[in-house]
Chains A and B, each alone.
Chain A
Amino acid sequence: MEHKGFWHRAWRLYADGFREMTVGRTLWLIIAVKLIIFFAVIKAIFFPDFLSSKAGDDNGKAEYVRQEMQKR
């Protein structure tokens, strides 16, 4: 009998698991669509790293926040 390594068995676990899924297929579709909406649309378009758009390095960010907090 052929001895299978850990990574091969791990791969089979996932491959067979996905193949035999019933309700899981719908769930994975929801997960995939959700992650695409979250990361490719919402994060990429609407949620940039705000401070990085204001300053290039940590010193610049600290100075920007200092000024922001002083003028509030």
Chain B
Amino acid sequence: MNDMITMVDWARAQFALTAIYHWLFVPLTLGLGVIVAIMETIWYRTRDERWLATTKFWMTLFGVNFAIGVATGIILEFEFGTNWSNYSWFVGDIFGAPLAVEGILAFFMESTFIAVMFFGWKKVSPRFHLASTWLTAIGASLSALWILIANAWMQYPTGCEFNPATMRNEMTSFWAVACSPMAVNKVLHTVTSAWVLGAAFVLGVSAWMLLKGRNDDHCRRSIKVSAWFGLLGIVLTSISGDTSAVTVARLQPMKLAAMEGLYRGSTDQSIVAFGILNPAKTAGNDEDPFLFDISIPYGLSLLATHDPHAFVPGIEDILDGNVPGGDSLSVADRMERGRAVRGMIAAYSDAAAAGDSAATDSLARAINADFRHFGYGYLDKPTDAVPNVPLTFYTFHLMVTVGGYLVLFMALWVLLSWKPRLLDDRAPLVKKLWLWLSVATVPLTYVCSASGWIVAEVGRQPWTIQDLMPNHVAVSDLSAGYVQTTFWIFAVVFTALLIADVAILCSQISKKSLTDLDTPNT
């Protein structure tokens, strides 16, 4: 088994497992945190005790999720240091700086104010308590911001220069790293999608309580806030998704081609709305990419460039170097240049050992001139630069389909919160079906959110750092069995945490929904 599934595969599987589990907790914290803050703001402004009761109900669920999810992300840092040590060294302070800011500023801000949020109801003024609730929500988003900036750098390494003496990338511009188009889009898309998940959670739980005939007024209050917040979130997610697509088309064209199963691009490029990929199709053969597809004319040109007639390169175009705005280098050319850079790094080491500073200066300049091709020097053949097309394609289409559904779902809930009789006057079966659909939308939104991450991470393979470092170079010299062991430990621990999270959330929802949620003391 281990002969086939290598250490790289186990290290990737472990990272994917822990990242996806971690991401089950994080978006609910981000989304629900803001919803609770909005509810408390309404109470602060109206002093209507029913809003205080509603705030406290959702705050309890926020606390459960936060407590169980907290520190699950630290596991990813353990993995960097042990499984991905070449990568950790190679990225130098670029990855470390955002993570340090996250640890010092955002995490401490979040963990300080969350204590006031939960313990401070009778200890601090309502104004200070409200500020603490908002600062907890903002702190959670700031934590996410720095992590997402670090991730965006791996997708689009910028604001840095490689130092062959230390074998590290050194940051030349913090702002280029923090404000790269990839970072801005990633932060906006991820955080606003978390708002949608938080809103879907509140709507789903409220729908379940309405199905059980419990605390009708409390549910309607919750729906009023979460439906509007969810609609705002999904609109912003869609807008940032659109700008993300343009950014990916420009900076990671191979990922976009894989997202669409596009092997040969064209001008006026259509987009596949629904399709079944042909498993026999690989880059370079003459098979049709699709067994079946429904396409929208001009769609991909429009999505990728905002010009319906623009050329969008496919996988084979990119392998051939036919990329608009690119340097016309094929992947084979880039492999040549990458190998040359590897050779210069070896020569640099020899020159440094000989104390030849003129040679090291000259080599450092030559290395950095072609450094953007460096990672290609590790590929065996051009098609190694192609990611897993089926996984990228299907998860992208799943994300977009569920995202489209969520636009309608949130818009409909806004309408129903505004005109409740539109639902109340329906036949009981219709009302029941709608409420159960709302409950089912909670796991569906999680699937959508995880799919987005799979598109982002699988679509950029084989790179740990885009164009600079492929996975098999990034990993440590460890045995597959060693990583396999910790994979299963994490699988057990994280599954136990998830079961605890769901069980405590369900028990709290069930127990508290039986009490009167119109008075704050319950």
Interface residues of A (CB under 8 A from B): 9, 12-14, 16-18, 20, 23-24, 26-28, 30-31, 34-35, 37-38, 42-43, 46-51, 58, 61-62, 65-66, 68-70, 72
The answer to whether A42 touches B78, judged by C-beta atoms less than 8 angstroms apart, is: yes
Q: Looking at the complex, which one of B86, B118, B472, B477 makes contact with A17 (CB distance below 8 Å)?
A: B118
Which residues of B in the span 42-86 have a Cβ within 8 Å of any Cβ on A? 60, 63-64, 67-68, 70-71, 74-75, 78-79, 81-83, 85-86
Task: Give A48 to B80 CA distance when docked, in angstroms.
Answer: 11
* 16 contacts across the A-B interface (CB closer than 8 A): A13-B115, A13-B116, A18-B119, A26-B504, A27-B64, A30-B67, A31-B68, A34-B71, A42-B489, A46-B82, A46-B486, A51-B85, A65-B167, A66-B167, A66-B349, A69-B342
The answer to whether A47 touches B89, judged by C-beta atoms less than 8 angstroms apart, is: no
Q: Looking at the complex, which one of B71, B167, B486 makes contact with A47 (CB distance below 8 Å)?
A: B486
The answer to whether A23 touches B504, judged by C-beta atoms less than 8 angstroms apart, is: yes
Min CB–CB distance A22 → chain B (angstroms):
9
Known A-B contacts A24-B118, A46-B486, A72-B472; the reply to A31 vs B70 at CB < 8 A is yes
5 new A-B contacts at CB < 8 Å, known A37-B493, A58-B166, A65-B167: A14-B115, A47-B486, A69-B342, A70-B342, A72-B472
The answer to whether A69 touches B473, judged by C-beta atoms less than 8 angstroms apart, is: yes
B408 on interface, CB distance cutoff 8 Å: no
Query: Using Cβ atoms and an 8 Å threshold, which residues of chain A touch B342?
Result: 69-70
Query: Using Cβ atoms and an 8 Å threshold, which residues of chain A touch B83?
Result: 50
Task: Give A23 to B504 CA distance when docked, in angstroms.
Answer: 9
The answer to whether B119 touches A13, judged by C-beta atoms less than 8 angstroms apart, is: yes
B126 on interface, CB distance cutoff 8 Å: no
Min CB–CB distance B331 → chain A (angstroms):
18
The answer to whether A16 touches B349, judged by C-beta atoms less than 8 angstroms apart, is: no
The answer to whether B504 touches A27, judged by C-beta atoms less than 8 angstroms apart, is: yes
Known A-B contacts A35-B71, A49-B81; the reply to A68 vs B63 at CB < 8 A is no
B485 on interface, CB distance cutoff 8 Å: yes
Query: Using Cβ atoms and an 8 Å threshold, which residues of chain B touch A58?
Result: 166
B165 on interface, CB distance cutoff 8 Å: yes
Min CB–CB distance B236 → chain A (angstroms):
31
Known A-B contacts A42-B78, A49-B81, A72-B473; the reply to A27 vs B68 at CB < 8 A is yes
User: Which residue of A has the minimal Cβ distance to B342?
Assistant: A70
The answer to whether A13 touches B70, judged by C-beta atoms less than 8 angstroms apart, is: no
Q: Looking at the complex, which one of A12, A49, A62 makes contact with B82 (CB distance below 8 Å)?
A: A49
The answer to whether B78 touches A62, judged by C-beta atoms less than 8 angstroms apart, is: no
User: Which residue of A has the minimal Cβ distance to B64?
Assistant: A27
Query: Using Cβ atoms and an 8 Å threshold, which residues of chain A touch B78?
Result: 38, 42-43, 47
* Interface of chain A: mostly helix, strand, loop or mixed: helix
Task: Give A35 to B485 CA distance when docked, in angstroms.
Answer: 20
The answer to whether A13 touches B123, judged by C-beta atoms less than 8 angstroms apart, is: yes
The answer to whether A68 touches B477, judged by C-beta atoms less than 8 angstroms apart, is: yes
Task: Give A48 to B86 CA distance when docked, in angstroms.
Answer: 14
Query: Using Cβ atoms and an 8 Å threshold, which residues of chain A touch B166?
Result: 58, 62
Which residues of B in the span 291-319 have a Cβ within 8 Å of any Cβ on A? none
Task: Give A14 to B119 CA distance when docked, in angstroms.
Answer: 7
Q: Which of A27, A58, A61 has the most CB of B within 10 A?
A: A27
User: Which residue of A has the minimal Cβ distance to B90?
Assistant: A65
Task: Give A30 to B70 CA distance when docked, in angstroms.
Answer: 11
User: Which residue of A has the minimal Cβ distance to B112?
Assistant: A10
Which residues of B in the span 168-203 have a Cβ within 8 Å of any Cβ on A? 168
Known A-B contacts A17-B119, A51-B88, A69-B167; the reply to A30 vs B68 at CB < 8 A is yes
Query: B490-514 vs A: 1/0 string, CB under 8 Å?
Result: 1001000100100010001000000
B433 on interface, CB distance cutoff 8 Å: no
User: Which residue of A has the minimal Cβ distance to B65?
Assistant: A27
Task: Give A63 to B147 CA distance when docked, in angstroms.
Answer: 29
Min CB–CB distance B504 → chain A (angstroms):
7
The answer to whether A70 touches B472, judged by C-beta atoms less than 8 angstroms apart, is: no
B330 on interface, CB distance cutoff 8 Å: no
Task: Give A26 to B346 CA distance when docked, in angstroms.
Answer: 56
The answer to whether B165 touches A50, judged by C-beta atoms less than 8 angstroms apart, is: no
B378 on interface, CB distance cutoff 8 Å: yes
B476 on interface, CB distance cutoff 8 Å: yes
Q: Looking at the complex, which one of B64, B88, B123, B349 makes contact with A9 (CB distance below 8 Å)?
A: B123
Task: Give A35 to B500 CA distance when docked, in angstroms.
Answer: 15
Query: Using Cβ atoms and an 8 Å threshold, which residues of chain B touch A47?
Result: 78-79, 81-82, 486
Q: Looking at the complex, which one of B82, B89, B486, B500 makes contact with A30 (CB distance below 8 Å)?
A: B500
B120 on interface, CB distance cutoff 8 Å: yes
Query: Using Cβ atoms and an 8 Å threshold, which residues of chain B touch A24?
Result: 63, 67, 118
Q: Which of B64, B70, B89 has the most CB of A within 10 A?
A: B89
B422 on interface, CB distance cutoff 8 Å: no
B26 on interface, CB distance cutoff 8 Å: no
Query: Using Cβ atoms and an 8 Å threshold, which residues of chain A touch B70?
Result: 31
Q: Looking at the complex, which one of B85, B118, B378, B500 makes contact with A50 (CB distance below 8 Å)?
A: B85
